[in-house]
Amino acid sequence: MDNMISCIEIALKQELLDAQASSLKKKADSYFGIGIESARCINIVTIESGLDGVELDRVKDEILTNPVTQVSSLRPLDIDFDWCIWVGYRPGVKDNAGATAMEVITDVLGKTFGENEGIYTSKRYCLKGETLTRAGVEKLAIELLSNGIIQQFKIFSMDEWDKKIGADVKPAKVILDHIPCFDTICIDSNEMLSKISDERNLALNLRDIPVIREYFLDQKVLDERKEVGLSAPTDVELEYISQARSDHCNHNTFNGIFQYKDVSTDGVIVENSLFKTYIQQPTLALKEEKDWVVSVLWDNAGVGKFDDDNNYVVTSETHNSPSNMEAYGGAITGIVGVYRDPMGTGLGAKLFMGSFGFCVGDVGYDGPLNPPLHPRRLLDGVIEGVKDGGNKSGVPTTFGQTLFDSGYMGKSLVFVTALGIMPTLIQGKPSHEKTTSPGELIIMSGGRVGKDGIHGVTASSESFSENTPAGHVQIGDPYTQKKMHDFLLICRDEGLTSFITDNGGGGLSSSVGESAMLSNGCEVWLDRVPVKYEGLDMWEIWISESQERMTIAVTPANLARFMELSREHEVESTVIGEYTDTGKLHIKYKNETCAYVDMDLLEKGFPSWEFDALWLPPEIRGLVEPVISTPSDFNGLLTRMLARPNICSKEWIFRQYDHEVQGGSVIKPLVGVNHNIPSDASVTRPVLTSKKGLAFSQSLLPWYSKIDTYHMMTCTIDEAVRRIIAVGGSFDHIGGLDNFCWPDIGFDEKKNPDGKFKAAQLVRACRALKDACMAYKIPLLSGKDSMYVDGYLGGQFGERVKVSALGTVQFSATSVLEDISKCVTMDPKVSGDLVYVMGTTADELGASEYYDLFGKTGFNIPKVNFDACKICYKALEKAIDKELVSSSHAVARGGLGIHFSLMTMAGGLGMEINLACLPHFNEGSSTNGFTDEIFLFSESAGRFIVTVAPENKSVFEKLCKGLPVSCVGVVTDDHTCLKIDGRDKKSIVNLSCDALDKAFNKTFGDYI
Amino acid sequence: MKKVKALILTGFGLNCDNETALAFDLAGAQSHRVHINSLISGREKLENYHILAFGGGFSWGDDHGAGVIQALKLKNHIGQDLLSFVEAGKLVIGICNGFQALVNLGLLPGLDTDYTRRSVCITFNDCGNFRDQWVRLTGNGASPCVFSKGIELADYPIRHGEGKVVADPGVIEQLVANNQVVFQYADSKGSPAKGVFPLNPNGAMADIAGLCDPSGRIFGLMPHPEAYNHFTNHPDWTRKKEQFKRRGEKMDTGMTTGIRLFKNGVDYIQDTFF
């Protein structure tokens, strides 16, 4: 039957408010000053099929049109405009709505879609406005409505519009017209292989090339390969090696050798592996000490004990490079991707929460540099990506942070974190253990394989440039993954699966390659892997990073039941091979061998990467304290501080994220009388029948890297811990996750002249990581590193300027709470309560928000005194456990001034504070010479503000005896102001809740 | 003792099934999470249950209008079973995505006892975005709705991008006149929000947060009562706990307003069928 192309156009009835069009109007105006008088959005569904006219009418009327609100037509809708913008996907980009349309049409009409049939969705926007010009409309198309990497657009004026053919939408289908094959690669010389590596984008490291050649030129290897019909390495094999050796998969930087030299001292310290020394070794030591640590350092996520019957699973990832090119696609793929990690941990966990961290450039930037996406657009996109990915996964997003710094304009950061829960035992066996065995079948479940995502891993291991292949940007599909999640949990509970892992970076190459290490071999039949379209080469199928796929080991005896459940849940599952114990990774395509290498090839003495690290202490870099006298207008100063982007309200982001789904919300991301102040940490009940809860917090303090990354790291960890303690977490159970994002540390005289310094910064951060984790006894349940946070941005004269991010670590902390009914939030609750500050305030304004206001860095960076903090944290934990504290809040970025303000707004009550009463930092030491701005804005670690009922005063003070804890004021309902008296007892701050609130919401308050 | 059996649909992107099942269990029923395809294949029979719950989530990704494909799929395969279930006097509840599915099926509002006509649409929020927020609802004491009996005020979270109830003015008038408007978005004192954002978070006509059919046995609402299954779910619980403590009282940590709504349904079945 001949296929016809039909377009169905659907729009809201004219009298209804078109919210999407309103949002477009608003953004066009506020971002570009382009005035649109009226706008309407039209959804277009393009169908290429053999459906007849009657069937198409049914599709239009019964499926795609809501009779109450919409109008639709098989011809272009006659909607007036001055300009019309059509936007559709490029071929091969995941079209989720197109896929569900096919699913429902198959169901309702019994119509299956053949190879050359399909459904594609697109949109057009009808704009009216007297001042609109083609150039302006084009700007909207390029900078607001489409992204050239995944989308295409057309612009029509009314004159150019043909009412009969409309936007003339063609199916965006992929036609490869290629017969799949594999190549063999010439390895006659190192130079030859290096050249081919560049040409084919293999990203092989120069140091690895001789090892690879030596293997393939080995006579024994050659003899064995001859038997399966191979000689020189195939592209499939080299791609496999490239994936496995990439920095993303192999963590070459963290396993590299560093020659560390501090210019202020003699000698060189050799660091043989930052990972082993500063992450693995302390974590293994702490695992011995902490019996709640169940599984760390090998699986897709770490596992900790939740209660006698359940373990929790946690991991955190970044998805930076893709998000920088296509913010929405990158972020949704990131969150949906990290959600596969708990699903692939042990025998599989059920997801119960997630979080986000966004680090972007200045959203108001109007300077000469041209990042791939303007920070404002990038932020819009990543927010929306995490929204769709998280919400549609049915997982609450309970915590998150958004940071702004010019360094992120080169490459912004998108952190995504996932937590899952699983029964301790599955069919009597520990759920955190898994392995593959010879004879078990290799099954791929979930999505299909396409060209998308190819070379994603190697691209994220390089700095962004105009030559970075754009093809690796994808759009995650939470719908397909949610079906798979539900299906796989049932398989797990029925004991059908013996191993599971996700397909992320490196695709099958990593998931099958790594899981076959356990059985010591595999045979894979690539021709059986379901593909989105024909014509993919073997290597492409093998390394494609197409999303929403898991690799699972199932014994032949369990196969029938596994497949039955798969069909019932409408998840595609395919047997693509078999685990063996031959010691070989053996890949075939239609019975022809296209890869045959030893499983232990990757252990064949590949050389470590080497780095020179040169530390220049801050005093040698000339950092000093700035000379700024004490301000006289603290009211004005404080309101200005509250409006700063890194301090102010980001309520609009949290509101877009479902943080209640699954019904376990205890402490929400926003708290206080008006539910609009960010909480210290979130608390969730992953097991609804238990009174236990899981507390979760994160911290990011990259600014301190300007002075010393050692203290950046300790302060970051301390803040995450403090936040956990503030809500009632247990100091004895704190799990950590480290996510390093660092600029390039490889020295190059021309391209990276400060590489050695950045390498030293990394070493120092790692040392601090270990010191803090050992001091607080935090095992690192999981962690990741993402290097090359640099960008080369085009300037106004055709130059390219390198922009590097500050060394950044997101530290996440988890804790298990015995009794959620004892949790505390940060809002003062009752008038008459006493306000205490716990912890000492020191002269530590270095790299603070306060100095940043004046464009200064300073020198006096906050330093963590672990022993002193520990005692304080335990005291507060005890006070909360005894229910002595009615509110508690960790003092963080911005210092006491900001955090008294947040508490005042959260409580909706007055607070009267006397800075002269602040605790001294130790016996006998003096705070003489400390100014009011030091007290208000110093960011010293280890501090809390708590409120205590008068009747608990003596018990609380007794509990805190000998600690730097003192009563600094009172909560009152006489007024609703924050009143602060300075050191000399004179009033320096007097601001009403309303004034604070107005300042706090000034910057993003009208965002929804 | 005989147990009230509640069926909670699962699959295809639905995601509130676990807590909805828990809510029914806490309300005294025996909950069963059943995959939509199990009903379609006939492996599970609707007639064996007393209450059918369409829960929250993103069925089929909500790509072609929230709840649209779910409604089509069920109508296509078990449309008659659904009508028989309703005719048997049993209960149907739709929450969020489930409410959207019920109006697309036509089970709501069921005007003139026509349970197949789509006369109400739940569409994109006026604010232009997905929104998670606790709302205050005022209950309509005159409504025949089985689930809302005795609930004058309720705080539940909304979490949706498409929650704006829209219908022809005539239909809205009829719904109001029939007391089919079960819950309205309200201010802190319980007076209807009169469309004021964010009290009415989505711009719903007549502040409609929940609707029932004329019999009161089919009920749909946008807010999530199942997400208020424990006292610690409420956004103000820490403050209330402290304030009660100061008065020398203990905060009620028993059955929440969320669970009461399910219990009303369970009690109705017990009274009517057992």
A65-71 mean pLDDT = 94
Buried b (16+ CB within 10 A) or exposed e, B238-272: bbebbeebeeeeeeeeeebbbbbbbbbbbbbbbee
Distance, CA of A317 to chain centre = 5
In Å, the largest CA–CA distance within chain B is 58
CB B166 within 8 A of CB B237: no
Q: Is the pLDDT of residue A460 over 90?
A: no
Chain B residue with minimal CA distance to A692? B232
Q: Does B215 touch chain A (CB under 8 A)?
A: no
Which residues of B does the annotation mark as catalytic? 96, 224, 226
Round to the nearest angstrom and report the end-to-end CA distance of chain A: 49
Q: Tell which of B60, B127, B247, B256 to mutate to test the A interface (max A CBs under 10 Å).
A: B60
Q: Does A482 touch chain B (CB under 8 A)?
A: yes
Q: Does B230 touch chain A (CB under 8 A)?
A: yes
Question: What is the C-alpha to C-alpha distance for residues B109 and B116, in angstroms, rounded to an integer?
Answer: 10
Sheet containing A151-157: order of strands: A70-73, A4-12, A38-49, A118-128, A83-89, A151-157
Question: Which residues in chain A touch residue B62, judged by CB atoms under 8 angstroms apart?
Answer: 392
Bridge partners, A83 (sequence order)? A127, A157
Q: How long, in residues, is chain B?
A: 274
B201-214 mean pLDDT = 98
A343-367 mean pLDDT = 97
Q: Does B166 touch chain A (CB under 8 A)?
A: yes
Calculate how close chain A gets to B18, using CA atoms only, in Å. 7
Bridge partners, B91 (sequence order)? B51
- Cβ of B232 within 8 Å of Cβ of A666? The answer is yes
Question: What is the C-alpha to C-alpha distance for residues A399 and A671, in angstroms, rounded to an integer?
Answer: 12
The reported pLDDT for the residue numbered A1006 is 87
Q: Does B224 touch chain A (CB under 8 A)?
A: yes
Q: Tell which of A68, A654, A685 to mutate to test the B interface (max B CBs under 10 Å).
A: A68
| Encoded tokens for A525 | 């039949």
Residue A108 has its nearest CB partner, among B23, B72, B104, at: B72
Question: What is the C-alpha to C-alpha distance for residues A994 and A906, in angstroms, rounded to an integer?
Answer: 12
- Cβ of B224 within 8 Å of Cβ of A689? The answer is no
Bridge partners, A1001 (sequence order)? none
- CA-based nearest residue to A111, from A170, A41, A52, A158: A52
pLDDT digits (tens, 9 = 90+) for A324-342: 989 999 999 999 999 999 9
Question: What is the C-alpha to C-alpha distance for residues B257 and A713, in angstroms, rounded to an integer?
Answer: 45
Question: Which residues in chain A touch residue B73, judged by CB atoms under 8 angstroms apart?
Answer: 104, 107-108
The reported pLDDT for the residue numbered A470 is 45
Question: Which residues in chain B touch residue A69, judged by CB atoms under 8 angstroms apart?
Answer: 121, 123, 166
3-state secondary structure of A292: coil
CB A901 within 8 A of CB A978: yes
Question: What is the C-alpha to C-alpha distance for residues B21 and A622, in angstroms, rounded to an integer?
Answer: 64
Q: Counting runs of H as helices and runs of E as strands, what totals does chain B give?
A: 7, 11
Fold of A824-1008: Phosphoribosyl-aminoimidazole Synthetase; Chain A, domain 2 (3.90.650)
Q: How far is CA B212 from CA A358, B99, B115, B217, in A?
A: 42, 10, 12, 7
CB A112 within 8 A of CB A169: no
Calculate how close chain B gets to A66, using CA atoms only, in Å. 7
- The residue that leads in pLDDT, A444 or A3, is A444
Q: Is the pLDDT of residue A203 over 50?
A: yes
Here the CATH number for the domain that contains residue B74 is 3.40.50.880
| Encoded tokens for A762 | 């990394």
pLDDT digits (tens, 9 = 90+) for A795-838: 999 999 999 999 999 999 999 999 999 999 999 999 999 999 99
Question: What is the C-alpha to C-alpha distance for residues A669 and A683, in angstroms, rounded to an integer?
Answer: 9
The reported pLDDT for the residue numbered A927 is 59
The reported pLDDT for the residue numbered A472 is 56
Q: Are strands A257-262 and A610-615 parallel, antiparallel or unpaired?
A: parallel
Question: Which residues in chain B touch residue A823, judged by CB atoms under 8 angstroms apart?
Answer: 232, 238
- Cβ of B123 within 8 Å of Cβ of A66? The answer is yes
B75-100 mean pLDDT = 97
Q: Tell which of A69, A393, A487, A692 to mutate to test the B interface (max B CBs under 10 Å).
A: A69
pLDDT grade for A463, boundaries at 50, 70 and 90: low
The reported pLDDT for the residue numbered A471 is 58
| Encoded tokens for A222 | 């050659």
Residue A392 has its nearest CB partner, among B58, B121, B126, at: B58
Q: Is the pLDDT of residue A468 over 50?
A: no
A-B C-beta contacts closer than 8 Å:
198
Question: What is the C-alpha to C-alpha distance for residues B50 and B30, in angstroms, rounded to an integer?
Answer: 10
Question: What is the C-alpha to C-alpha distance for residues B11 and A785, in angstroms, rounded to an integer?
Answer: 35
Residue A902 CB contacts under 8 Å (≥ 6 apart), including other chains = A677, A678, A826, A889, A1000
Question: Which CATH architecture fits A4-160?
Answer: 2-Layer Sandwich (3.30)
pLDDT digits (tens, 9 = 90+) for A76-111: 999 999 999 999 998 888 899 999 999 999 999 998
The reported pLDDT for the residue numbered A466 is 43
CB A234 within 8 A of CB A241: no
The reported pLDDT for the residue numbered B93 is 98
Q: Is the pLDDT of residue A916 over 70?
A: yes
Q: Is the pLDDT of residue A630 over 80?
A: yes
- CA-based nearest residue to A443, from A402, A500, A366: A500
pLDDT digits (tens, 9 = 90+) for B152-192: 999 999 999 999 999 999 999 999 999 999 999 999 999 99
Q: What is the mean pLDDT of chain B?
A: 97
A858-884 mean pLDDT = 98
Q: Give the number of other CB atoms < 10 A from CB of residue A211.
A: 16
Q: Are strands A885-890 and A977-981 parallel, antiparallel or unpaired?
A: unpaired
pLDDT digits (tens, 9 = 90+) for A386-421: 999 999 999 999 999 999 999 999 999 999 999 999
pLDDT grade for A288, boundaries at 50, 70 and 90: very high
The reported pLDDT for the residue numbered A655 is 97
Q: Give the number of other CB atoms < 10 A from CB of residue B150.
A: 9
Share of chain A above pLDDT 70, in %: 97
Residue A882 CB contacts under 8 Å (≥ 6 apart), including other chains = A955, A959
The reported pLDDT for the residue numbered A94 is 85
Q: How long, in residues, is chain A?
A: 1008
The 3-class SS string of A397-461 reads: EEEEEEEECHHHHCCCEEEEEEEEEEECEECCEECCCCCCCCCCEEEEEECCECCCCCCHHHHHC
Cα dihedral sign, A23-A28-A34-A39: negative
pLDDT grade for A923, boundaries at 50, 70 and 90: very low
pLDDT digits (tens, 9 = 90+) for B237-269: 999 999 999 999 999 999 999 999 999 999 999
Do A181-263+434-606 and A824-1008 agree at the fold level?
yes
| Encoded tokens for A3 | 């296929």
- Cβ of B68 within 8 Å of Cβ of A63? The answer is yes
Q: What is the mean pLDDT of chain A?
A: 94
Q: Is the pLDDT of residue A461 over 70?
A: no
| Encoded tokens for B241 | 């706990």
Q: Does B33 touch chain A (CB under 8 A)?
A: no
Predicted TM-score (pTM) of the model is 0.96
Calculate how close chain B gets to A70, using CA atoms only, in Å. 10
The reported pLDDT for the residue numbered A922 is 47
Calculate how close chain A gets to B63, using CA atoms only, in Å. 5
| Encoded tokens for A294 | 């169940």
CB A310 within 8 A of CB A692: no
The reported pLDDT for the residue numbered A925 is 52
Bridge partners, A426 (sequence order)? A429
- Cβ of A104 within 8 Å of Cβ of B12? The answer is no
Q: How far is CA A720 from CA A698, A703, A715, A876, A890, in A?
A: 5, 16, 9, 15, 9
Question: What is the C-alpha to C-alpha distance for residues A18 and A516, in angstroms, rounded to an integer?
Answer: 53
Q: Is the pLDDT of residue A453 over 80?
A: no
CB A942 within 8 A of CB A868: yes
| Correct CATH for A181-263+434-606 of 3.40.50.300, 3.90.650.10, 3.20.20.100, 3.40.220.10 | 3.90.650.10
State the DSSP code for A526. G
Domain housing B39: 5-273
Bridge partners, A121 (sequence order)? A45
| Encoded tokens for A166 | 């409309």
Question: What is the C-alpha to C-alpha distance for residues A905 and A890, in angstroms, rounded to an integer?
Answer: 15
Question: What is the C-alpha to C-alpha distance for residues A344 and A512, in angstroms, rounded to an integer?
Answer: 13
Q: Is the pLDDT of residue A592 over 50?
A: yes
Bridge partners, A70 (sequence order)? A12
- Cβ of B239 within 8 Å of Cβ of A829? The answer is yes
State the DSSP code for A171. P
A105-134 mean pLDDT = 93
Share of chain A above pLDDT 90, in %: 88
Question: What is the C-alpha to C-alpha distance for residues A846 and A453, in angstroms, rounded to an integer?
Answer: 42
- Cβ of B229 within 8 Å of Cβ of A663? The answer is yes
Q: Locate tokens 């100014």: which residue?
A: A931
Distance, CA of A53 to chain centre = 46
Question: What is the C-alpha to C-alpha distance for residues A432 and A298, in angstroms, rounded to an integer?
Answer: 11
Calculate how close chain B gets to A950, using CA atoms only, in Å. 11
The reported pLDDT for the residue numbered A150 is 86
Q: Which H or E run includes A653?
A: helix A651-655
Q: Locate tokens 């929250």: which residue?
A: B56
